[in-house]
Amino acid sequence: MKKFMASLTVGALLFASLTGCSTKQEVTPAKETATENSEKYTIGIVQTMNHPSLDEIREYTIIGLEELGLKDKIEIVYKDAQGDPSNINTIVSQFVGEEVNMIIPIATGAAQTTASATKDIPIVFAAVSNPVEAGLVKDLKITDSNITGVSNAIAVEEILDLSQELTPGIKTYGLIYNQGEINSATGIKRAKAYLSSKGYEYVEATIANSGELLQATQSLIGKNVDAIFTPNDNTVATAMPILASEAIKAKIPVYVGVDSLVKDGGLATVGIDYKTLGRQVAAMVKRIYEGQTIAENPVEQIKENSKIINKTTAEALGLKIDETSLKEFKIIE
């Protein structure tokens, strides 16, 4: 399979190819691994697939590093796995073989593969919703291995509360997700528990790939659900316009876990600001680069959530939202 490779230097989206390798290291601070006036501190970024949310995390991690003054001190090598788990393994193996100074895996699958591949190179993950359940750390407050990062745990309960606020009267929810994605499975588990505690019904439709999304959506619509919920599911994300289009035709609101799915036609979310997440990752990387250990940097949660609504979708569903309420939202046309 063709692999898309792009080398990036901080401050731009296209970067020069990696020209050197650093010396293999244990989990030690940058000042002990990068010699003065020699090779730059090299960071490998591996991304599960191209998608607006994941792309934004990567871009704002790089922007954040530039803002923090590291433009001329580090070199970044970015590689995209194009949604293929075997590609992730190949990419990470290359990073380990090249003895990069740090690896930033974006999304859960990439983080799990990276954690399995090296116990020496520092790892700072981005956008792992449930790092404990994913087996990356034993506790969010304890990072006693070579891995830490920034979690993008979604506000499941707040999103479901929002659904009742915007579209009151929902009695039955349709839940759609890829049960093979730990981030989705744990989000759906929370959704089920919360819905049950509130006395709401739910039905499920699971998919293994994006090609199954149309049929899964139609099956939920056929079961007369009043609303659909999908978490931060990468498989759903790759074909979200299909889900949104079918739901709009059936006049069923779709509530989602992240802002990019609202942009692709979902109705609303209490979502993650991925620009903030990227900058949080950059700040953690800088601290470790400057000498702090992984143990001194426990896993962080995304610092900011915001209400986001797709006004075009709302209008297509026939929803009327007063201007006062709209002021609480980030509006996507």
Which CATH number goes with the domain that contains 75? Answer: 3.40.50.2300
Q: From residue 289, how far is each of 28, 123, 282 by CA, in Å? A: 9, 12, 10
Residues 164 and 214 in one domain: yes
Q: Name the domain boundary from 198, 228, 257.
A: 257
Residues 175 and 75 in one domain: no
Domain-embedded: residue 325? no
Containing 183, the helix (H) or strand (E) segment is helix 182-198
Domain-embedded: residue 283? yes
The confidence score (pLDDT) of residue 16 equals 34
Domain-embedded: residue 323? no
Digit-coded pLDDT (tens) for 139-184:
999 999 999 999 988 899 999 999 999 999 999 999 999 999 988 9
Q: Give whichever of 2-16, 20-34, 36-50 has the largest mean pLDDT.
A: 36-50
The confidence score (pLDDT) of residue 298 equals 97
Digit-coded pLDDT (tens) for 273-304:
888 899 999 999 999 999 999 999 999 998 77
Mean pLDDT value of segment 41-70: 94
Residues 244 and 264: beta-carbon distance below 8 Å: yes
Residues 170 and 131 in one domain: no
Domain-embedded: residue 59? yes
Domain-embedded: residue 329? no
Residues 188 and 44 in one domain: no
Mean pLDDT value of segment 16-40: 40
Q: What is the pTM of this model?
A: 0.72
Residue reference for tokens 């590093």: 65
The confidence score (pLDDT) of residue 11 equals 40
- 198/303: higher pLDDT: 198
Residue 28 Ramachandran class (φ > 0 left, ψ -120 to 50 alpha, else beta): beta
Residues 110 and 242 in one domain: no
At 271, the pLDDT band (50, 70, 90 cuts) reads confident
Has residue 196 got a pLDDT over 60?
yes
At 65, the pLDDT band (50, 70, 90 cuts) reads very high
Domain-embedded: residue 267? no
At 8, the pLDDT band (50, 70, 90 cuts) reads very low
Residues 238 and 298 in one domain: no
Q: What are phi and psi of 102, to 5 degrees?
A: -155, 150
At 46, the pLDDT band (50, 70, 90 cuts) reads very high
CA 201 to chain centre: 28
Mean pLDDT value of segment 19-44: 49
Dist CA 117 CA 95 (whole Å): 10
Dist CA 168 CA 295 (whole Å): 46
Has residue 9 got a pLDDT over 50?
no
Number of domains the chain is built from: 2
Residues 103 and 193 in one domain: no
Domain of residue 185 covers: 156-257
CA nearest neighbour of 254 among 233, 240, 239: 240
Residues 212 and 97 in one domain: no
Residues 12 and 125 in one domain: yes
Residues 55 and 99 in one domain: yes
The confidence score (pLDDT) of residue 136 equals 97
The confidence score (pLDDT) of residue 327 equals 86
Residues 163 and 145 in one domain: no
CA nearest neighbour of 167 among 306, 318, 270, 305: 318
Has residue 262 got a pLDDT over 50?
yes
- % of the chain surpassing 90 pLDDT: 74
Residues 252 and 298 in one domain: no
Residue 212 contacts by C-beta under 8 Å, 6 or more apart in sequence? none
Digit-coded pLDDT (tens) for 11-27:
433 333 333 333 333 33
Digit-coded pLDDT (tens) for 217-246:
999 999 999 999 999 898 999 999 999 999
Domain-embedded: residue 176? yes
Domain-embedded: residue 313? no
